[in-house]
DNA sequence: TTTTTACATAAGTAAATGCTTATATAGAAA
DNA sequence: TTTCTATATAAGCATTTACTTATGTAAAAA
């Protein structure tokens, strides 16, 4: 699959756009995403994997927690989407303040 | 459906990205798209409809022919995608030179 | 060590997607 | 008018997608 197509497919979903909106302010852990999306934890992990495989997000492990963030290097297309999204502050998981 | 999501879904497909690449140089008629994509004419019409419904392309009717072009007013996200695409010149249907 | 916690992976299923062929429509030509 | 041509719409089907529940894994706690 073309890289542009993969990136567009990865972002072309309501839930995954919400994940990106949550990460606009910084790192968020998986359990907080579950609270926001109101779908199962495995479903969230699968959606995060699609964004990661497309190179849009990065992960950081800290003990049993895993924090996801928007990648530092993103293409103009991803940049335009992120800029369009309004940040979602309901998931205020600032690095070490995971609510799990 | 969210407008951003609809636009991303409309562009997140190899064939529809090729349609847009063809239109980078200007208007193209449906029959020329059929030659390029190598799928049936109804399939092309259905793909064009998705792009039109998302507001990404516009149409102009001329007799029995129908010409499609990238809309004059497009969002930054669509702009970024179009800029990323390399123009496809195999469909050089300049206004009145349809090959049908 | 065993248990618990946070997350990932696997398998199964319902819904969405993208093609096909068949048919409808609108305009040009005969 | 009838016929042909370009395109659109409808119906059916195979593939993909996005969820679910069940299970696996790795790190912390007991």
pLDDT digits (tens, 9 = 90+) for A14-52: 999 999 999 999 999 999 999 999 999 999 999 999 999
Q: Tokens for B96?
A: 């009145």
The C-alpha torsion from B29 through B37 and B43 to A7, rounded to 10°, is -110
Is the Cβ of A64 closer than 8 Å to some Cβ of chain B? no
Interface with B, mutate which of A12, A47, A74 (most B CBs under 10 A): A12
The C-alpha torsion from A67 through A73 and A74 to A80, rounded to 10°, is 100
pLDDT value at position B90?
Answer: 83
Tell me: the pLDDT tens digits for B34-43?
Answer: 999 999 999 9
Q: Are B22 and B15 in contact (CB under 8 A)?
A: no
Nearest to B63 by CA among B88, B38, B13, B100: B100
pLDDT, average across residues B45-67: 97
Every domain of chain A and the residues it spans: 3-84
Domain A3-84 fold: Arc Repressor Mutant, subunit A (1.10.10)
Determine the length of chain B: 100
Whether residue A12 and residue B17 make contact (CB cut-off 8 A), yes or no, is no
Q: Are B8 and B77 in contact (CB under 8 A)?
A: yes
The pLDDT-based confidence of B13 (bands split at 50, 70, 90) is: very high
Phi-psi region of A63 (alpha: psi -120 to 50; beta: other; left: phi over 0): left
Q: Tokens for B29?
A: 């008629």
Chain B residues near residue A12 by CB distance under 8 angstroms: 5, 8-9, 11-12
pTM, rounded to two decimals = 0.94
Tell me: the pLDDT tens digits for A43-96?
Answer: 999 999 999 999 999 999 999 999 999 999 999 999 999 999 999 988 766 555
Instruction: With a cut of 60, say whether residue B51 has pLDDT above it.
Output: yes
Q: Are A63 and A22 in contact (CB under 8 A)?
A: no
């Amino acid at each position: 699959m073309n890289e542009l197509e993969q990136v567009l497919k990865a972002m072309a979903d309501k839930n995954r756009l919400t994940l990106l909106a949550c990460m606009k302010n910084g790192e968020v852990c998986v359990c907080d995403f579950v609270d926001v999306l109101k779908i199962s934890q495995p479903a969230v992990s699968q959606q995060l994997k699609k964004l990661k495989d497309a190179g849009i997000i990065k992960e950081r492990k800290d003990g049993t927690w895993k924090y996801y963030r928007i990648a530092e290097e993103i293409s103009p297309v991803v940049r335009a989407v992120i800029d369009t999204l309004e940040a979602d502050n309901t998931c205020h998981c600032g690095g070490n303040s995971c609510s799990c």
